[in-house]
Amino acid sequence: MTSNEKLKVLKALLDSLSFRDLTLSLDLLVTGAVVYFYASSLMMATAEQLASGVWISQLLVKVVGVSIALSIVSQLLLELVSDGEVDQPMDEREKQVSLVGNKYALWTLQAGVCFAIGQYAFEQNGMGIAERAPLPFFTLHIMVGAFLLAELVNYATQLIRNRMVTLYG
């Protein structure tokens, strides 16, 4: 492919990008950054920190703080680049895409909650995987993980569906 053809492909791609695609991409990036922050904090923590309820609570507060700060920055960026599109309501296709994203996010969250309930039950009975739980407060981490994963699934599904421009395929 020549550079001229590559430029044409890039132009066509940018041309087909809607403001909604841009918003979803930013939301996906922000959630990805929050997941990275949470996971890296857990991986770098000492055994004492992981076993401390106070440290875990502080980490969760930090995660919420990072999430809010990144959301504000992304919204400001969107306001800057938009041409009044931020205030535009979603049209019927976008609403349907949003519903599909919400459906898969809900399934992910439900699976995570079921897993957390199972883990808690095993933990309380001193059997199964709870015996070999890799982390103290494992149930809590499963719930936080499920919540973050559900957000990722929601944005990724909407982005993919928007790019495919087909709902029932």
Partner 1 sequence: MAECAITNQIKTLRFMAGEMTQKELAERVGVTRQTIMAIEAAKYSPSLEVAFKIAQVFGEPLESVFQYQHREL
Nearest alpha carbon to residue 141 among 62, 56, 66:
56
Work out how close the CB of 103 gets to partner 1 at its nearest, in angstroms, rounded to a whole number. Answer: 18
Does an H or E element contain 99, and which?
A: helix 92-125
Considering only the stretches 5-13, 49-57, 72-80, 160-168, report the one whose residues sit in contact with partner 1 under the rule CB under 8 A: 160-168
Q: With helix as H, strand as E and coil as C, how does 132-144 read?
A: HCCCCCHHHHHHH
Cβ contact 89:95 at 8 Å: no
Write out the binding residues for partner 1, residues 61-100 only, by CB under 8 A: 91-94
Residue 167 interacting with partner 1 (CB under 8 A): yes
23 part of the interface to partner 1, by CB under 8 A: no
The tokens describing 28, both together, are 């996906």
Q: Phi/psi class of residue 84: alpha, beta or left (left: φ > 0; alpha: ψ in -120 to 50)? A: left
Using the rule CB under 8 A, which residue among 20, 59, 101, 146 binds partner 1? 20
Q: How many residues bind partner 1 (CB under 8 A)?
A: 15
Please identify, using beta-carbon distances, which residue of 72 and 164 lies nearer to partner 1. 164
Q: Which residues bind partner 1 (CB under 8 A)?
A: 16, 18-21, 91-94, 162, 164-167, 169
